[in-house]
Chain A
Amino acid sequence: GESVGLHLPTLSVQEGDNSIINCAYSNSASDYFIWYKQESGKGPQFIIDIRSNMDKRQGQRVTVLLNKTVKHLSLQIAATQPGDSAVYFCAENNWGGSEKLVFGKGTKLTVNP
């Protein structure tokens, strides 16, 4: 069935370090992936997305890598800042199938000053 999971529930880094958040997905038919950031008391906020015809996409301080062979997705945050502290969710979508976003469990990122 469709499911998206994460390797680590929590991640703690020092300010200025790079962060890597991982996500494993199980539906090989998924063709669109999104990373969301959820700060405490707020709704999820879009960070970056990637389609299955790509293996890497870069934004401002963030990079998403997609490895379809092992069904793995990662979010890299460069020069992590205290404002990056939040829970990060990956989500997948299969436009040819259910056409709904399925969310992973989430990783809580804590940035230490």
Chain B
Amino acid sequence: SAVISQKPSRDICQRGTSLTIQCQVDSQVTMMFWYRQQPGQSLTLIATANQGSEATYESGFVIDKFPISRPNLTFSTLTVSNMSPEDSSIYLCSVEREGRTGELFFGEGSRLTVL
């Protein structure tokens, strides 16, 4: 299994500001996935981040709002830009189990509250 560390674990942010969430994995992985989990809701995929290429965004998510970096095979960042209260969510980083089995490992998540 992979160990995934996310920072910050939680934060309270002001409307209009931006926050960058970091995700560190203890092994090299090809793809990293960023999910959003709104309060009391399920997980929604934001984007898939591959090292050396631009992230692939899902419908409803755009790069200007959620820029992603993937500088190497163990690290990625997700920025939530120009935040509004609607962005209050848990943001989760995940990686696929080695061998492309489809199973994902998740970090503990970053809980953002936007005032």
Q: Which residues of A contact B (CB under 8 A)?
A: 32, 34, 41-46, 49, 89, 93, 95, 100-106
Q: Do B103 and A46 touch across chains, with their CB atoms under 8 A apart?
A: yes
Taking A42-B108, A43-B92 as contacts, is the C-beta distance between A34 and B102 under 8 angstroms?
Answer: yes
B11 to chain A, nearest CB (A): 15
Q: In the bound complex, how far is the Cα of B92 from the Cα of A7, in angstroms?
A: 25
Which residues of B, 40-95, contact A by the 8 Å Cβ criterion? 41-45, 48, 58, 92, 94
Q: Are A101 and B42 in contact (CB under 8 A)?
A: no
Whether B103 contacts A43 by the Cβ 8 Å rule is no
Interface centre among B33, B94, B102 (most CB of A within 10 A): B102
- Report the interface size for chain B: residues with CB under 8 A from the other chain: 19
Q: Complex: how many Å from CA A89 to CA B33?
A: 17
Give CA–CA (A105, B44) in the complex, Å.
10
In the bound complex, how far is the Cα of B90 from the Cα of A41, in angstroms? 9
A-B interface, 10 closest residue pairs, ranked by CB to CB distance from nearest: A43-B106, A103-B43, A103-B42, A93-B102, A32-B102, A44-B106, A43-B108, A105-B42, A43-B109, A106-B42
Task: Tell me whether B103 and A34 are in contact (CB under 8 A).
Answer: yes
Contacting residue for A45 out of B33, B58, B106, CB 8 A? B106
A95 touches B108 (CB 8 A): no
**Cβ of B42 to closest chain A Cβ, rounded Å:** 5
Evaluate whether A89 and B103 lie within 8 angstroms (CB atoms) in the complex, with A42-B108, A43-B108, A100-B48 already known: no
- List residues of chain A with CB within 8 A of the CB of B94: 43
A101–B31 Cα distance when bound, in Å, is: 13
Flag whether B114 is at the interface (Cβ < 8 A).
no
Q: How far is the CA of A99 from the CA of B50 in the complex (A)?
A: 14
| Closest chain A CB from B31 CB (angstroms) | 10
By a CB distance below 8 angstroms, the chain B residues around A32 are 102
| B92 contacts across to A, CB distance below 8 A | 43-44
